[in-house]
């Protein structure tokens, strides 16, 4: 490991005698700031998109007034409102768990962004086990949610937390299994290396268009469905289910702590979409990229744009699904997870393994 | 037994996928359609032309006959004017919207067809007293009316003088 783009930039601008630990600390701090800023802006945009898409799906307009142009600053106004709200902690709540839960949830969501390859040369950390790190960190969110539900001293919250526990542990299996076909195809856990293997002038090297498309497409849909459930998005939003549990695990949260849960949802949606983009849809690769010279500054800029566009498209599909399907019952969620997605994921995994073995033997 | 369970499994799976795709097609179609929202204070909804909103009065046609006030079932119209021969000096023509139920019964008996109900419906006030609306566009005599009254008075005076001879 020789550092990321931030440490490269820093080492070029710092005086020569600067100690390495100082550089590492500074790079980590700046990187964290970048991630927090990026996630905040991302959540602002995604929440606005969610409201606009929800409106138009219901033949409405959505927010139109705040900020002038199509209510673009509605989310900003909401964020300011949340920041100025009173931070309520109930008398019976567990003081430690209640305070720790939003931090854990938010921290795990931010940590996911460390391994995402945004553009050539723009990645905070290229870990060899990148996608496993991502899955492991993503499941920390579940623990945070359970802590929130238990610490709130509220039966609705506890119900939400129990549902989250059941749902998240069930869907982590198909989620991880559906990642195995691309991992076998590219022979790597690193998102960066998988993305690099998909580069080509026309996009036909993307996993979903490759010769293994017949396992790529079903595994993509499986991953997407499991990621929906893992991120508590409708139709799997049982931990929240506002019509029965008020707001599920975050019923008792207000102000900034509530904002953390809100932010985490959109950050996790983007992270799941980004993993799908990196493994199936070619990551930052875009058609015609080979015509640019390798050192060109346009490559990271257009690459980041392509990556963001692909990931945001998947986020929009998640929003589209949310405003299409009604919420499932808990037993239906479990049935779908254990009886349908898990066997299908196992079958696809076996098919992908067979295909890759056959291709390797040629 | 096992084969039927397996075929049921496949049917459930394909049903789920197909119904999800159908639902998403429907929402996509609505998404692409023009929204029906009317941006209210900026644009007003089309009320269809026969809406019974707040009244307006064509004061120059009104003959102070009190027919609308008599027809009103809740007695909310009150009018006051002084007659100067054929000319009317208006003092008040009030409609109490605290009582008015916008039933349009005042519109039909009008012999001159001068009281109407318009498309304006937003009657918002902070004080109940403001709900009593004066429908007059002017009060007292206009210059034109004063002139006519003066002409008539002059003619009367002339006639009186002529009759005295």
Report in angstroms the alpha-carbon separations of A97 from A83, A89, A238, B64. Answer: 21, 11, 22, 79
**Domain contains A9:** no
Neighboring chain A residues of B31 at a CB cutoff of 8 Å: 53, 56-57, 320
Q: Which CATH number fits domain B55-156: 3.60.10.10, 2.60.40.2300, 2.40.30.110, 3.30.70.3270?
A: 3.30.70.3270
Q: What is the pLDDT of residue A315?
A: 92
pLDDT tens digits, B65-108? 888 888 999 999 888 888 887 888 888 889 998 888 988 899 99
What average pLDDT does range A279-286 have in this prediction? 83
What's the pLDDT band for B18 if we cut at 50, 70, 90?
very high
**In chain B, positions 38-97, which contact chain A (CB-CB < 8 Å)?**
39
**Domain contains A79:** no
Q: What is the pLDDT of residue A1?
A: 40
Sheet of strand B77-84: strand arrangement: B77-84, B87-96, B132-134
pLDDT tens digits, A235-251? 888 888 878 888 888 88
Phi, psi of A117 (to 5 degrees): -85, 105
Residues A321, B24: C-beta atoms closer than 8 Å = yes
Give the rounded distance of the alpha carbon of A138 from its chain centre. 8
Nearest to A59 among B24, B35, B39 (CB): B35
Residues A324, B27: C-beta atoms closer than 8 Å = yes
Q: Of residues A12 and B42, which shows the higher confidence score?
A: B42
**Domain contains A4:** no
B18 shares contact with chain A (CB less than 8 Å): no
For residues B158 and B154, give the distance between their C-alpha atoms in angstroms, rounded to a whole number.
6
User: Residue A81: enclosing H or E segment and its boundaries?
Assistant: helix A74-84
Question: What is the domain count for chain A?
Answer: 1
What average pLDDT does range A48-62 have in this prediction? 89
Q: What is the pLDDT of residue A203?
A: 66
pLDDT tens digits, A328-348? 888 888 988 898 999 999 999
Which region among A86-100, A228-242, A283-297, B136-150 has the lowest average model confidence (pLDDT)? A283-297
Residues B37, A61: C-beta atoms closer than 8 Å = yes
Closest CA to B47 of B101, B117, B94: B117
Question: With 60 as the cut, is the pLDDT of residue A2 above it?
Answer: no
Average pLDDT, rounded, for chain A: 85
Question: With 80 as the cut, is the pLDDT of residue A358 above it?
Answer: yes
For residues A240 and A42, give the distance between their C-alpha atoms in angstroms, rounded to a whole number.
22
CB pairs under 8 A between A and B: 42
A49 shares contact with chain B (CB less than 8 Å): no
Phi, psi of A260 (to 5 degrees): -60, -45
B10: Cβ contacts below 8 Å, ≥ 6 apart:
none
Which of A51, A59, A218 is the best residue to mutate to test the B interface, defined by the most B CB atoms within 10 Å of its own CB?
A59
Nearest to A325 among B13, B20, B36 (CB): B20
User: Residue A181: enclosing H or E segment and its boundaries?
Assistant: helix A180-186
Whole-angstrom distance between the N-terminal and C-terminal Cα of chain A? 34
Q: What is the pLDDT of residue B2?
A: 62
For residues B124 and B76, give the distance between their C-alpha atoms in angstroms, rounded to a whole number.
18
Phi, psi of A152 (to 5 degrees): -75, -15
**Domain contains A229:** yes
Distance from B61 to chain A by nearest Cα, in Å? 44
A103: Cβ contacts below 8 Å, ≥ 6 apart:
A144, A260
Average pLDDT, rounded, for chain B: 86
- Judge whether A180 and A188 are in contact, CB under 8 Å: no
B28: Cβ contacts below 8 Å, ≥ 6 apart:
A320
Give the rounded distance of the alpha carbon of A323 from its chain centre. 19
Q: What is the pLDDT of residue B25?
A: 92
What average pLDDT does range B1-9 have in this prediction? 78
- Judge whether A157 and A93 are in contact, CB under 8 Å: no
A292 shares contact with chain B (CB less than 8 Å): no
**Domain contains A235:** yes
Q: What is the pLDDT of residue A314?
A: 92
Phi, psi of A204 (to 5 degrees): -80, -5
Distance from A195 to chain B by nearest Cα, in Å? 29
- Judge whether A176 and A275 are in contact, CB under 8 Å: no
**H-type alpha helices, B35-107:** 67-71
What average pLDDT does range B104-125 have in this prediction? 87
A246 shares contact with chain B (CB less than 8 Å): no
pLDDT tens digits, A153-172? 888 888 888 888 888 888 98
Distance from B21 to chain A by nearest Cα, in Å? 10
Distance from B52 to chain A by nearest Cα, in Å? 27
What average pLDDT does range A116-127 have in this prediction? 79
- Judge whether A156 and A243 are in contact, CB under 8 Å: no
Percentage of chain A lying above the pLDDT 70 cut: 98
Phi, psi of B71 (to 5 degrees): -75, -25
pTM of the shown model: 0.79
What average pLDDT does range B31-37 have in this prediction? 87
A88 shares contact with chain B (CB less than 8 Å): no
Question: With 60 as the cut, is the pLDDT of residue B1 above it?
Answer: no
The domain limits of chain B are: 1-32, 55-156
B21 shares contact with chain A (CB less than 8 Å): no
Neighboring chain B residues of A59 at a CB cutoff of 8 Å: 30, 33, 35-37
Question: With 90 as the cut, is the pLDDT of residue A139 above it?
Answer: no
Q: What is the pLDDT of residue A223?
A: 92
Question: With 90 as the cut, is the pLDDT of residue B22 above it?
Answer: yes
Question: With 50 as the cut, is the pLDDT of residue A65 above it?
Answer: yes
Q: What is the pLDDT of residue A199?
A: 78
Phi, psi of A350 (to 5 degrees): -65, -45
Residues A324, B23: C-beta atoms closer than 8 Å = yes
For residues A156 and A248, give the distance between their C-alpha atoms in angstroms, rounded to a whole number.
6
For residues A189 and A115, give the distance between their C-alpha atoms in angstroms, rounded to a whole number.
11
For residues B81 and B70, give the distance between their C-alpha atoms in angstroms, rounded to a whole number.
16
B53: Cβ contacts below 8 Å, ≥ 6 apart:
B47, B102, B117, B118, B119, B120, B121
For residues B99 and B131, give the distance between their C-alpha atoms in angstroms, rounded to a whole number.
9
For residues B153 and B63, give the distance between their C-alpha atoms in angstroms, rounded to a whole number.
21
Question: With 80 as the cut, is the pLDDT of residue A5 above it?
Answer: no
Percentage of chain A lying above the pLDDT 90 cut: 10
Domain of residue A194 covers: 85-361
Closest CA to A239 of A136, A164, A321: A164
């Amino acid at each position: 490991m020789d550092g990321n783009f931030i440490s490269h930039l820093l080492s070029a601008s710092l005086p020569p005698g600067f100690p390495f630990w100082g550089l590492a600390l500074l790079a980590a701090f700046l990187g964290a700031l970048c991630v927090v800023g990026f996630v905040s802006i991302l959540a602002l945009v995604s929440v606005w998109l969610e409201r606009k898409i929800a409106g138009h799906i219901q033949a409405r307009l959505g927010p139109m007034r705040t900020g002038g142009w199509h209510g673009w600053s509605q989310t900003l106004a909401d964020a300011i409102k949340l920041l100025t709200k009173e931070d309520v902690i109930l008398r019976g709540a567990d003081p430690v768990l209640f305070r720790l839960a939003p931090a854990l949830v938010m921290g795990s969501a931010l940590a996911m962004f460390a391994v995402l390859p945004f553009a050539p040369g723009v990645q905070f950390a290229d870990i060899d086990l990148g996608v496993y790190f991502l899955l492991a960190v993503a499941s920390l969110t579940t623990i945070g949610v359970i802590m929130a539900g238990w610490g709130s001293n509220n039966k609705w919250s506890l119900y939400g937390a129990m549902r989250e526990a059941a749902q998240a542990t069930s869907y982590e299996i198909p989620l991880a299994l559906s990642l195995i076909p691309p991992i076998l195809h590219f022979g790597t856990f690193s998102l960066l290396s998988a993305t690099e293997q998909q580069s080509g002038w026309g996009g036909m090297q993307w996993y979903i268009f490759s010769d293994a498309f017949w396992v790529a497409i079903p595994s993509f849909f499986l991953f997407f469905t499991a990621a929906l459930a893992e991120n508590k998005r409708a139709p799997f939003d049982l931990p929240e289910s506002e019509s029965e549990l008020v707001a599920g695990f975050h019923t008792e949260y207000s102000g900034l702590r509530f904002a953390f849960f809100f932010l985490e949802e959109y950050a996790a949606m983007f992270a799941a979409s980004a993993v799908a983009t990196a493994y199936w849809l070619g990551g930052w690769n875009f058609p015609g990229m080979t015509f640019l010279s390798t050192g060109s500054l346009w490559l990271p800029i257009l690459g980041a744009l392509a990556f963001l566009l692909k990931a945001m498209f998947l986020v929009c599909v998640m929003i589209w699904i949310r405003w299409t399907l009604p919420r499932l019952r808990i037993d239906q969620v479990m049935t779908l997870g254990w009886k349908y997605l898990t066997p299908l994921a196992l079958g696809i995994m076996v098919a992908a393994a067979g295909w890759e073995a056959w291709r390797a033997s040629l | 037994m096992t084969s039927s369970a397996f075929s049921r499994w496949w049917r459930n799976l394909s049903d789920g996928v197909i119904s999800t795709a159908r639902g998403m097609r429907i929402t996509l179609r609505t998404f692409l359609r023009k929204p029906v929202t009317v941006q209210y204070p900026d644009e007003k909804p089309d009320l269809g032309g026969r809406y019974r909103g707040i009244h307006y009065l064509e004061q120059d046609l009104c003959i102070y006959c009190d027919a609308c006030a008599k027809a009103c079932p809740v007695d909310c119209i009150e009018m006051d004017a002084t007659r100067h021969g054929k000319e009317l000096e208006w003092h008040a023509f009030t409609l109490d919207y605290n009582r008015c139920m916008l039933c349009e019964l005042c519109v039909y008996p009008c012999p001159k067809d001068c009281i109407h109900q318009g498309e304006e419906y937003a009657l918002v006030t902070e004080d109940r007293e403001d709900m009593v609306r004066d429908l007059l566009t002017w009060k007292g005599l206009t210059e034109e009316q004063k002139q006519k009254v003066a002409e008539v008075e002059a003619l009367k005076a002339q006639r009186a003088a002529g009759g005295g001879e």
